[in-house]
Structure 1
Amino acid sequence: MHRYNDYELIYLVQNENCEEAFKKLLGKYKLMIYKNIYQYNPDKFYFDDYLQEGLMLMNKAINIFEERRGKTFTRFFELILKRKIFELNRKKPLYEIYDDFEMFPDKEQSIEEIDTEHLTKFENIVFNKYFVENQNISYIAEVENKSVKQIYNAIYRIKNKI
C-alpha cells in the first residue's frame, strides 16, 4: 500500500477533487484541530462550533495552499487555525441570553403577593410600574423624571432584594 505525503494528497484534492485524499488529510489533521481548540479552553457549549469551524477551515486551507510559498501544509494550517480560534474566542459573547427566564419562577406566589416593605419609596414605584404594570423602562424614566440608568439600577436592586 502506497503512503501519500501531504503534497500529493493536496494535489489530488485541488486538481482532481479526490474525496479519499480529503478524508486522509482530514483524519491526519483532526487531532491537531482538537489540540488547538483545547489549548484555548473553550466552554463545552462552544466546543462543537469550534470543531466545525476548524473542519471548514481545513477544507479552505487545502484549496488555497500553495507549495511554492515555502511553508509546509502543517505549519500553514496550524497558523490559520490558531488565528481562527483566537478570533472566535474574541467574538464570543460575554453574556448568555436565556429565553425561558422568569423573574418569579414560583407559580404559587404572584407578583402582588411579594413583600415589598424592604424596598425604598423609589424602588416601590419602579417595582409597581415595571413588574406589575409592565411599563417600558424609557417611559418610567420619563414619567418619574429620572435617567434610564437610574431605572435599570433600581430594577437591579429590586431583583437582589427579592
Structure 2
Amino acid sequence: MPRSSDPDPRREPGSSTLLLREVPAHLGAAPALLRSPLLVALREAPAARCRLYVLADVAAPAAAPPVAGALVEVGEPASGRSALLRALAVEPGHRRRGLGRRLLADLLTELRADGVRALRCRADPGDGGLAGLLERAGFTVTSHAASEYDVPNIRHRAVWLVREL
C-alpha cells in the first residue's frame, strides 16, 4: 500500500519539482517518449557536438521517463559560441501545459552559463508550434528558406529563428 508521502505517478508534474539535466547524446540515450524527434535530429548531427537535455520530474519515481527534452548542437569556440537547437519535444501526455516553455527557459539559462552567446533554430511548417514558442521566448526570424518543386502541390517553407543570449 502506498504511503501518503509517495509521489503519485498519475499527478501533474509540478513546476517546482522539474529539473533540467544533461544526459549523454547518442542514439540509445533518448527515452522512448522522446525518441521520434530526437532520434531524427541525432542522426543528422555529429553526436560529439550535441548535448541532450531532459526535463525530469524529481518528485516522480526514479524510473519515470522525463517529460520533455531538447537536442542542442554547440559550435566550436571560435564560432562565437553559437548553438543550434536541433529538436525540442514534450511527451504527448504532458503537452499544452507550459512544459515546452519551461524547458526552453531552463535551456537558455544553462547555455548562457556555459558561454553560448546565440541560439538558432530552423522551424518547419507542421512543427507543432515550435516557431510560435520560440517567438514568444524572444527569438526573431532571421530568414525564410523555401524550396519549390515542379509539382505545384509540393512546397516546403521554413524559417530560421535566432536569440542572442
User: What TM-score comes out, normalization by structure 1 length?
Assistant: 0.22
Of Structure 1 and Structure 2, which has the larger fraction of its residues in strand? 2
Q: Which of these two proteins has the greater Rg computed from alpha carbons?
A: 1
